[in-house]
Amino acid sequence: MKKSDRFWYEYETTQGKRWVVVDPLRRTKSSLFDADKLAAELTKAVKDPFDWQHLKLDNMKLLGDENTLQFTVKSTAEVLKKDWAELKAKNKNAKDSLEKKVHTFQFNLISQQLKEIETVKEPSRLAWANIAPDSSKIVYVKNFNLYWMDKANFLKAVKDLKDTTLVEQALTTDGVADYEYGWGKVFCSMRGQQK
């Protein structure tokens, strides 16, 4: 935690999941939150049954005040994909128009109050792109080697990978099959060339 020496972690045993906060100065260890209470609140809010032993809290983070957790949960309700019209326009044969509804919540650790907030869909990441923290450069694997491009060229690549005006720079030249700079299909190369 940024405002103290405390830290928190999550672990799972056959008895279920636990979230623990540790204060090394006081030499204490306690539950980060009441999982049973949170499960009951989620059940009321989502209308799906939740139990403390099997809570699946995705994208969990502690907000700046260090008293509020934010996380997402999936419900059994199905909703139309937000980008369905765009997907259908790109691929007229696209069939899967539904997805499980994702709820975003904030849970106050002191008051034990749960509040649903608007779920903001994260921008889709391209599998081949490794973006620098300041977004100024993008590194990727192509033809078994490492390449980079600047942000302006990356934005062009996002629109059209086959754009002939893309400027890219090789970082390595000695990559070969089975000894490439990258691993598996996650590091697929640009413009459709895959190993």
Residue 162's Cβ-count burial label (10 Å; 0-12, 13-18, 19+) is: exposed
Using one digit for the tens of pLDDT, what is the confidence trace for 11-56?
888 888 899 999 999 999 999 999 999 999 999 999 999 998 888 9
Distance CA 107, CA 188 (A): 39
Percent of the chain with pLDDT over 90: 27
28-31 β-sheet, strand order: 7-13, 16-23, 28-31
For the record, the structure tokens of 3 come out as 């405002």
Q: What is the pLDDT of residue 122?
A: 52
- Which pLDDT belongs to residue 185? 36
Higher pLDDT, 77 or 82: 77
Q: For 61, list phi and psi in degrees, rounded to 5.
A: -145, 150
Q: How confident is the model at residue 192 (pLDDT cuts 50, 70, 90)?
A: very low
In this prediction, residue 188 carries a pLDDT of 39
pLDDT single digits (tens) 31-41: 999 999 999 99
Alpha-carbon distance 79 to 5, whole Å?
42
| CA proximity to 54, closest of 70, 68, 74, 77 | 74
